[in-house]
Structure 1
């Protein structure tokens, strides 16, 4: 993205102002807020540029408030202005049924749409039948703005009634099966509306893009994803500044390949650029071009809370927790009253065990708005850090009472139920999280953990593989797969999975430098993973491979693979060649770790001590009593397995003395 001129900045400024007004007129408050925050982050234009822009206006009316350029729509809007103002006032007061009835009274809707075949869209998909017009009555002549407001009010009314009819969160009758009964009415109406505006060549008459967005949103709720994506893409072509439409597209894109397939068909403007960066972060991408894209966008919108959040989440997903914490701290300093995404911030503080800072954020959220889902999640995380798991569950349930699609609350509540040993409730929480977002690897991983606790390893393995598929470069996912395979007696496959875990760590270490991390873990491997691989080789009877990995495990005390020689460890490069493929990121090279900068080492750990014990016993078996004595002596100094180590020392010295006597 090249440098922007003052004229470009002024153009963005005007387009965002128009977007705020248009979204506000249609009660799309979240999209209006997003555009307003982005507008506020633009650098202020110089007085000379402002004066020049004002002089170019032909009238005293700002372009934001200029009448509709479509003469037909402008005439309809002028004619129904009083009704529109009445309907909007009802919507603002949350009287959604009254708002819809101003333009679409129930008697009119029942006459238009009664006795029709159930349908969701004119497009086929998910087993839906095509709609047949249920009535010959003509659709009312309403402007697109008023029609959107009325139908949107219908959808919101249905969502409100669905929440009211739902049982208590995680209660005995809470099956998550309550549906929005207004979706069918809105879907049928829009099916007819679009059918009547379709030309013989298959193209639609010129629209404003908002009804396409509404139809796409309804189709998403009806699980007709292909047709929904088609209408949402039409919407962003007609009006690219409605962030709600881009969010719906983001939720429909479940894989990087799908994102790359959709991208060329989107409008090529800055909104598409922002969407691509946001969708890539949501898909847990960590490539260097993504960081560069966000930096380019931040050069245009330097204080944008949305883009700064994307940058923080990028660091979070790439395991740079300290960098992510600093980014969120910066956002909080810039926008101290903003609660959006603070649930992610609380997760980071929880993992870093920063209790005072998490207490501060929880208190801040409570003082601003204690009945926001984000506030409840932050407070729940604070109680979880204090090991008050019942209170944590209480706050996560409160967050879900406020918003049943709050993904963080479902997943975190599952974690709390695992801590409380309530596996049934944990599984249900994780399943509901997956229903909200099938890309949530934490929920899939949680399901795997819970089934592993129940010793149902086949189920656990399936869920772990789902999590690993979503996070192919996360060592924790592959380690879980490997351990599960080991418990199922599939050591050979388990070894491959654990070697993939080592490669995954290597990927994060090398990519960490791209995001400004210190990269201090380069050359360091997880001794626990190395010990597990060695143990599986031992089970398979491959003693030499087991010995090589035990030595490599022990070498991590001294600073990693590159210091293996200094630690007296033999060549261990066999770790890489038979690992699963490196993938498309180019990080699967066998030498990814071998010659990197080394860290300071892990020091003595339980895994390295167990490896030292295994090697001492192996040396005894191989009649290398000097090595056995040295390793056992080191174990005594470590203070781990001291009694067994002393026994080994006595036996080794005894054998050496016998050998000397024979000589």
Structure 2
């Protein structure tokens, strides 16, 4: 995707305006995002710039600093400039109550709330008692920019006091039930303000979109998600460059179906394109289309730290950890002082067991800002890799003290408590992670694991299914579901789940056939021997010996990376092998193989005993001899060899 010189200049101007407008309203994260994207936009060549500039009207004032286009708003902003500057300096100095009081003193807000309390729910015009208070308590005539700043300061003040009133993280009184007491004031004020603009006889200036964003954000905190989504979508239509509003919308989308449903109702511009790609990555989607979308965006913003992070996370979710590690390494080289999303990078280094790189990353984060939540998570991961789990918990707690909505810290602290055998604390950590983000499959999976340790399999199964619903192509999720069903004695359902685990990674688009057709399984050259062994054991418990034998042979065949001779007999339903299956059979597989594992040795032992039962003593002797060479179950294997040889000698004597 490329942009013409004119489009590039328009995009540059829009991002400049976005950075200024968001900064004026103290939406610092949105302003930073717009400024970073602006910095990643390549400069237009001088020759093209001259041609475009000659065709565009010139002006001494940049549009980002031009007066408001609405004359009423422009007059109000000019009139209250002194107060606005005072309020903004108070906000910048984190004196949020003083900032709000510049435009909305407590006496004014108290009067508005009392008028609301005296009002009834009857339609307008009915009831004599409501007319007088409404007339007396009209909303103050201040600009939308100043009003947003005052109300936003109220919300931030409430959040700050909420954190102060909360107990120590995971302490005995930390129930997560402390609420922001300023939300009610802001909600009632915005309800009246928005209602006035919706009136048919309204002569007020049109909304700029920021107050709809604030109202939607407040509604999200009050768990009124459906109404919040409506107002947030109104906001992005009025001002599409507020990235914070797009993030609020993304947090309300739990499924890709929901994303596709609302996509046509969003403004069709580059912001919607970025939003769609980012949300798809956060919903753990994968595929060539999403990768192509990110590459198109990187063609416009080649050095964008945000888009490079999305690309790295896409590889991370696709389990291509080496590619994700390389992406994050390149990102760190481009932006060495940027801490955003480095907690994900530390997770990748932890899984890859790259201790020197994780040590370097922890030292780097600590030297830049040791009191950022991301820094604490990185250091916590480093201590976890060293098996210093108490130290890791300490740093994850520190991250949560700085930001109670830090998802990585809640989930990782749950993992540490599992290592420390503190199941109660682990469950509480995972639950708080789910409260922060219900799309976090790691927290759901962690809850399932913890309840499985407690042998509460019904609970574990429910949580495992939630995780599998979020990651339907992840074989690990379905393996957990199948293992749990096996422990509950539901072998038939367990077999279906484990077959889906075999197919999930490569055959997500055809999962509907995975429950009853082994043809797709046959096409896979390399499978997990542990899963195959579990399927075989469940077939054995169901007294379906032929199927059990087929999967046991398939399990043993994974040592060499092939399907071996078992392909011909491995069928759950009748039918002729497809061309792909025949090709796989001719190749005999093609992977490197797992080598001897505990699972393959158990499968070989079962096959040896089965051969003894069916009087195939030659096969039993061969398999038992292989077990002796593997060094697994050696004594039992030697006993089988002796018995098989004695039976063969006896058979030879009878023949003579």
**Normalized against structure 2, the TM-score is what?**
0.92
Question: Matched residues in 1 for 2:211 and 2:95: separation?
Answer: 21
Aligned equivalents of 1:34 and 1:593: distance in 2? Answer: 50
Deviations for 1:433-484, whole angstroms, at most 9, x for unmatched residues?
A: 0000001111011111101111111111111111111111111111111111
Residue 590 (structure 1) shift: 9.5
Q: Specify which of 557, 560, 571 is matched with residue 558 of structure 1.
A: 560
CA-CA distance at 1:594 after TM superposition? 7.7
1:321 — aligned with what?
321
Q: Say whether residues 1:533 and 2:535 are aligned partners.
A: yes
Alignment match, 2:356: 356
Q: CA deviation at 1:342?
A: 0.4
Q: Secondary structure at the match of 2:572?
A: helix
Q: 3-state DSSP class of the match of 1:230? A: helix
- 1:623 maps to 615
Offset of residue 350 of structure 1: 0.7
Tell me whether 636-645 or 20-29 shows the greater mean CA deviation: 636-645
1:244-265 Cα distance to aligned partner (Å, 9 max, x none):
0000000001111110110000
Equivalent residue for 1:487? 487
Residues in 1 aligned to 2:393 and 2:445: alpha-carbon distance in whole angstroms: 19
- SS of match in other structure, 2:338: coil
1:448 and 2:440 correspond: no
Q: Which residue of 2 aligns with 1:9?
A: 8
Distance in 1 between the 2:65 and 2:616 partners?
89
**Counterpart position of 1:661:** 653
In 1, the alpha carbon distance for the partners of 2:494 and 2:362 equals 42
Query: Does residue 633 of the first structure (1) align with residue 625 of the second (2)?
Result: yes
Deviations 1:613-636 (A, max 9, x none): 110010011100000000111111
SS of 1:421's partner is coil
Match of 1:572 in 2: 570
Distance in 1 of aligned mates of 2:132 and 2:538: 65
The answer on whether the counterparts of 2:72 and 2:205 sit within 8 Å (CA) in structure 1 is no
Q: Match for residue 177 of structure 2? A: 177
- Over 3 Å counting, the alpha-carbon distance change for 1:253 and 1:569 in structure 2 is closer
List per-residue Cα deviations over 1:117-164 (Å, max 9, x = no partner): 599x99xxxxxxxx9997441100000000000000000000000000
User: How many residues align structurally?
Assistant: 629
Q: 2: distance between equivalents of 1:535 and 1:22? A: 64
The aligned residue for residue 332 of structure 1 is 332
Q: How far apart are residue 4 of structure 1 and its match?
A: 1.4
Give, in angstroms, the shift of residue 505 of structure 1.
3.0
What does residue range 406-417 of structure 1 map to in structure 2 within 5 Å?
A: 406-417=406-417
- 1:31 is aligned to 2:23: no
Are the aligned partners of 2:5 and 2:49 in contact in 1 as well (CA < 8 Å)? no
Give the drift of 1:6: 1.3
Map 1:353-432 → 2, pairs under 5 A: 353-432=353-432
Cα distance change on mapping 1:440 and 1:204 into 2, 3 Å: farther
Separation of aligned partners in 2, 1:530 and 1:610 = 11
Alignment partner, residue 19 of structure 2: 20
CA contact (8 A) 2:220 2:228 kept: yes
Deviations for 1:502-533, whole angstroms, at most 9, x for unmatched residues?
A: 1113337999xxxxxxxxx9621000000000
Report the CA distance shift for 1:452/1:591 in structure 2 as closer, same or farther (over 3 A).
farther
Residue matched to 2:86 = 86
Q: Could you say if the C-alpha distance between residues 117 and 91 of structure 1 is closer, same or farther in structure 2, counting changes exceeding 3 Å? A: same
Distance 1:52 1:77, change over 3 A: farther
Partner of 1:606: 598
Please, which moves more after superposition, 284-293 or 57-66? Answer: 57-66
Shift of 1:113: 1.4
Checking the alignment, whether the CA contact within 8 Å between 1:442 and 1:467 is kept in structure 2 is: yes
Contact 2:70/2:205, CA 8 A, preserved across alignment: no
Distance change (3 Å), C-alpha of 1:576 and 1:48: farther
Does residue 77 of structure 1 match 2:77? yes
Return the alpha-carbon distance in structure 1 between the equivalents of residues 371 and 133 of structure 2: 43
Q: How many angstroms does 1:492 deviate by?
A: 0.5
Work out the CA distance in 2 between the residues paired with 1:133 and 1:303: 59
User: Aligned-pair distance for 1:52?
Assistant: 5.0
Instruction: Return the alpha-carbon distance in structure 2 between the equivalents of residues 193 and 86 of structure 1.
Output: 24
Aligned to 1:643: 635
CA deviation map 1:401-428 (0-9, x unaligned): 0000000000000000000000000000
- CA 306–134 in structure 1, closer or farther in 2 if over 3 Å, else same: farther
**How has the CA–CA distance of structure 1 residues 428 and 641 changed in structure 2, closer, same or farther, with 3 Å as cutoff?**
same
CA contact (8 A) 1:369 1:375 kept: yes
Equivalent residue runs for 1:157-176 within 5 Å = 157-176=157-176
Kindly indicate whether the alpha-carbon contact (under 8 Å) linking 1:115 and 1:134 is maintained by their aligned counterparts in 2. yes
Partner residue, 1:47: 46
Q: Point out the more displaced range, 196-205 or 7-16.
A: 196-205
SS in 2 for 1:114: helix
Structure 1 CA distance, aligned partners of 2:265 and 2:132? 31
**Residues 509/194 of structure 1: CA separation in 2 closer, same or farther (3 Å cut):** closer
In structure 2, C-alpha distance between the alignment counterparts of 1:216 and 1:174, rounded to whole Å: 27
Change in 2 beyond 3 A, CA 1:469/1:272: same
Distance in 2 between residues matched to 1:493 and 1:132, nearest whole Å = 65
Q: Is the 8 A contact 1:551 1:570 kept in 2?
A: no
Superposed CA deviations along residues 303-326 of structure 1, whole A, max 9, x for unmatched, are 111111111111111111111111
Secondary structure in 2 matching 1:598: coil
Gaps of 5+ in 2: 123-129, 512-522
1:380-404, CA deviations, whole angstroms, 9 ceiling, x for partnerless residues?
0111111110000000000000000
Distance in 2 of aligned mates of 1:599 and 1:507: 18
